[in-house]
Amino acid sequence: MQRNLITEPPFPIRWSLIFTSMLLPFSSLTMAGNLVGGTTTITGGVPEQWSLNSNATLNVNGAQTLFINTDSSTLNVNAGITQQIAARNGSQVNLSGANVSGVGGLAAVVLVNSQANIVNSTITGNRVGLQVVRNANTLTGSTATVSGKSNITGVTGGALVSAFSRLDVTDSTIQGTGASSYGLRLASGQATATDSTIIGGQNGVTIGLDANSIQPATLNLNNTTVEGVTGSAIQVDFASAGSSTATITLNNSRLVAGNNTLLDVRGGATASFTVNNSTLSGNIVNEAGSTTDLVLQNSSVLTGNLENVSRATINDSSRWVLVGDGQIDNLTLNGGTVRFGADNAFYQLNVGQLAGNGRFELGTDFSTGQTDLLNVTGTASGRHELIISSSGVDPAAGQPVRVVQTGGGDAQFFMAREVDLGAFSYSLAKSGNDWILDPATRTVSPGARSVLALFNTASTVWSAEATSLRSRMGELRFNGGEGGAWGRTYGNKYNVADGSGVGYQQTQRGFTLGADAPLPFGDGQWLIGVMAGHSKSDLNLDGGTSGTVTSNYLGTYLTWIDAGSGYYLDGVLKLNRFRNEAKVGLSDGHRAKGDYDNTGLGGSIELGRNIKLADGYFIEPYTKWSGVVIQGRSFTLDNDMQADGDRTRSLVGEAGMTAGRTFALEGDLQVQPYVRVALGHEFAKNNEVKVNDNVFNNDLSGSRGEIAAGFAVAMTDRLQVHIDADYSKGKNIERPIGLNMGVRYGF
């Protein structure tokens, strides 16, 4: 048999040369089977070559053949094995479970102005696996659908598609196996791949021109992976042979490049690259003289550089993450985001023209003076949010930080909240055509606020745990000052504003257990006891910043009650161990944490008199003095903020009056409702805290008023319960609600 073996010409393909050779009269070939019209089915026998003409139909059912040529005919291979297949002039090739191997020629399967349906088949070419092409003298081409886990390979390339031709691939693999091979090659052709894999030994997909009829090329990838093992994932190269456009669309797909170039556009080509719901890592490179338009949309992410890209549009929730300094002629954000790399790397993005509405995520490191910079060399328009990474380190004193510079335009840049830099937060301000972080706008940062709150809270925790004799043990006079065991649970809420203007809310919950016994002197008027307890306080500083103070304590107390005169004296000594934790919500959405332990020691003394009036009424004037010293500590948040607190001191004097009435009911049951009013004053003023060497004074000094109500109930001569609620308000601290419930059992 005499064959015309066609070699593949260099890119771009000279289709007239190829197809002139391919269209040599097939009568010159010696065929064992020559079918003109009619239908033939083979199921076995010696492998033969076949030539089909004039609407002939050949069915290869589980049989083996050699080369098959079809002209205006139909070939059906069902679980058969063949060598090369060449189809032309409107032929139809149907492969199902077939195995086709090319032992020579241009491709294992060549479609010239023909159609193919390939299902669950294997095509192996010693050059190209599948060619879907046209006759150079026509403006129509071929179509092929590949599905059902088919596998098409070739040493030079997996598949090639010409102008006016189309390849649709589903759930299959197209692969070039040679070192310099491509997976899929489009010469002004159209291709769609769904749930598939395309691999080239060099480039995954190459897109060029059909030199005889320059047409736009289209590549649609749906849930598909394209890999260039040593080269680019997709290369568009028009070799300066003409002007056209390659339109590439990714939908939930992946590009892998051995040279880290996802898309390489060269040779005067124009490429439109649209990415939908895909995450890509690598660069997009545009050679001088070529044009690339990039669109990221539907939550797509591109991490890599854009080299000489003409235009990029970033829509909705999509983002571009820089991995180095960048430059782009035109950038449009329609809700999209540009992130300037990792937190520990700093880049400059040069943009010719900026438009739209979006956001830029920038980083700063004020310990080194480095910062990301958006540099718009032309005009900037639109409204853009800046999300600037926070830092626990303070910037250079008094120095503005330039984050955006422009050549002009009406663009507005803003921050949703101030950026946290060390002990202070800074607002954005316009300076000429630039935008800076202005030191004149600084406020105390959430990190500093959390530090101040933690150093402040221990004193309020301590005082709420101590309280008064009545709220600790109820009314001792019910059982004549006998010894007993008791327990109380309590909850308090505070609204605090310290001397630096930092406010927070504190919610405390806790319990105390205690027991006491009369001393063997003083006619049973003296009680000595011990107590232990636990409380937890949650701090809310808004903006996602919070803190927790956990307190465990041991104490002892000494109480004297003179039943005759009504005088009483109560002294408490208490030792606390505090566990302090800060969680800081930063302006860039990140969180910082820090914690430390410290100890507090304090005591109180309360003196009062219970004065009985007629009909069970009583009044009880009292005064109480309490003081505590809490250990100072230094600690560091994990964003490098340094905190150093001196000893915290509190000295509170209080005077007040309790008034109530005792009702004697049936049996031993007694009920005693009461109200209380008091005035207190915090004398401690200077509780110094340093944050990054910035000095703050935690000052809760000042007067406060208190009103309370409660009742004590003697259930029996030994068992009593009590409930107490109060409200207090002062200069720097308010307690909207305090609740205390307890029980005591006398021995």
Quick: pLDDT tens for 490-532: 999 998 875 545 678 899 999 999 999 999 887 778 999 999 9
Determine the pLDDT at residue 398. 60
Structure tokens at 412: 């507005």
Residues 367-376 have pLDDT tens digits of 666 789 999 9
Q: Residues with Cβ < 8 Å from 62, sequence gap 6 or more?
A: 43, 44, 78, 79, 80
> CA nearest 421: which of 363, 372, 373, 374?
363
> CA nearest 688: which of 641, 648, 636?
648
For residue 727, give the 3-state DSSP assignment.
strand
Q: In this structure, are residues 701 and 467 in contact, taking their beta carbons and an 8 Å threshold?
A: no
Strands 85-88 and 74-78 come out as: unpaired
How many whole angstroms separate alpha carbon 80 and alpha carbon 35? 18
The fold for domain 445-746 equals Lipocalin (2.40.128)
DSSP state of 731: S
DSSP state of 474: -
Structure tokens at 493: 């809420």
- Give the residue carrying structure tokens 């307690």: 735
Residues 678-692 have pLDDT tens digits of 999 989 887 788 898
pLDDT at residue 545 is higher than 60: yes
> CA nearest 346: which of 334, 367, 363?
363
Give the CA distances from residue 526 to residues 475, 529, 703, in Å, rounded to whole numbers and listed in that order: 15, 10, 33
* pLDDT category of residue 397 using cuts at 50, 70 and 90: low
Position 647: which residue type?
A: R
Structure tokens at 731: 């200069």
Residues 44-68 have pLDDT tens digits of 989 999 999 999 999 999 999 999 9
Residues 624-660 have pLDDT tens digits of 999 999 999 999 998 889 989 888 889 999 999 999 9
- Give the residue carrying structure tokens 């150079």: 136
Q: Give the containing element (helix H, strand E) for 359.
A: strand 348-362
Q: What angle do CA 223, 228, 233 make, to 5 degrees?
A: 60
Q: In this structure, are residues 259 and 230 in contact, taking their beta carbons and an 8 Å threshold?
A: yes
Would the CA dihedral through 476, 477, 478, 479 be positive or negative?
positive
Q: What's the average model confidence in pLDDT over 723-740?
A: 90
Q: Residues with Cβ < 8 Å from 267, sequence gap 6 or more?
A: 208, 236, 237, 238, 239, 240, 241, 287, 290
Determine the pLDDT at residue 658. 94
How many whole angstroms separate alpha carbon 160 and alpha carbon 13? 10
Residue 20 backbone phi and psi in degrees, to 5? -60, -45
Determine the pLDDT at residue 732. 80
pTM of the model: 0.76
Residues 200-215 have pLDDT tens digits of 999 999 999 998 888 9
Q: What is the per-residue DSSP string for 592-661?
A: EEEEEEEEEEEEEEEEEE-EE-GGGEEEEEEEEEEEEEE--EEEE-TTS-EEEE--EEEEEEEEEEEEEE
Give the CA distances from residue 512 to residues 473, 489, 491, 537, 602, in Å, rounded to whole numbers and listed in that order: 10, 6, 12, 15, 16
- Give the residue carrying structure tokens 């400059």: 348
Which is more confident, 718 or 29?
A: 718
Strands 326-339 and 364-365 come out as: unpaired
Q: Any idea where the domains of the chain sit in the sequence?
A: 445-746
Determine the pLDDT at residue 433. 92
pLDDT at residue 5 is higher than 70: no
Strands 503-518 and 401-406 come out as: unpaired
Lowest mean pLDDT across 195-199, 348-352, 487-491, 518-522: 518-522
Determine the pLDDT at residue 587. 79
Q: What angle do CA 197, 202, 207 make, to 5 degrees?
A: 75
* pLDDT category of residue 9 using cuts at 50, 70 and 90: very low
Residues 103-151 have pLDDT tens digits of 777 799 999 999 999 999 999 999 999 999 999 888 899 999 999 999 9
Q: Give the containing element (helix H, strand E) for 21.
A: helix 15-22
DSSP state of 610: -
pLDDT at residue 394 is higher than 50: yes
Q: In this structure, are residues 109 and 100 in contact, taking their beta carbons and an 8 Å threshold?
A: yes
Residues 467-499 have pLDDT tens digits of 777 777 777 777 666 788 999 999 999 988 755
Structure tokens at 485: 């065991």
Q: In this structure, are residues 187 and 206 in contact, taking their beta carbons and an 8 Å threshold?
A: no
Which is more confident, 7 or 169?
A: 169
How many whole angstroms separate alpha carbon 571 and alpha carbon 485? 18
- Give the residue carrying structure tokens 């609600």: 737
* pLDDT category of residue 32 using cuts at 50, 70 and 90: low
Using the CB atoms, write b or e for 382-392: b if 16+ within 10 Å.
bebbbbbbbbb
pLDDT at residue 713 is higher than 70: yes
DSSP state of 202: S
Determine the pLDDT at residue 588. 75
Q: What's the average model confidence in pLDDT over 245-273?
A: 97
pLDDT at residue 163 is higher than 90: yes
Q: What's the average model confidence in pLDDT over 295-301?
A: 97
Structure tokens at 45: 């026998």
pLDDT at residue 31 is higher than 50: no
Determine the pLDDT at residue 317. 92
Residues 562-609 have pLDDT tens digits of 888 889 999 999 999 999 998 888 877 788 899 999 999 999 999 999
For residue 493, give the 3-state DSSP assignment.
strand
Which is more confident, 187 or 730?
A: 187
